[in-house]
Amino acid sequence: MAHIVFAPSIQRHVEIPELDLPGTTLGGLLEEVFAQYPRLRGYLLDDQGGLRRHVTVFIDGLRLRDRLGLSDALAAESEVYVVQALSGG
């Protein structure tokens, strides 16, 4: 099972603990999360199902590659961190 952690900046909007859930892709893992915390979907995903610009995800220390389809593969023991993306000038 993958281990998913949400940064405090996200938990200000939706309080969610660290979770261990099944999933072979990031999208599959997030669907497991959304089944338990449906309010989180609208904060993380846009109306087309892609990751919102203000959010980024790290899988085993590497930034995800597929922001639109969320098809990045997960290993059985992957560590997934969901954080608020930083932007500015």
- Say what the pTM is: 0.92
Using one digit for the tens of pLDDT, what is the confidence trace for 31-51?
999 999 999 999 999 999 999
Using one digit for the tens of pLDDT, what is the confidence trace for 50-80?
999 999 999 999 999 999 999 999 999 999 9
Residue 18's pLDDT band (cuts 50, 70, 90): very high
Six-digit token string for 41: 């979907």
Domains contained in the chain, CATH given: 2-84 (3.10.20.30)
- For residue 48, the number of C-alpha atoms closer than 13 Å in the C-beta half-sphere is 8
User: Distances in Å between the alpha carbon of 14 and those of 30, 50, 59?
Assistant: 14, 19, 21
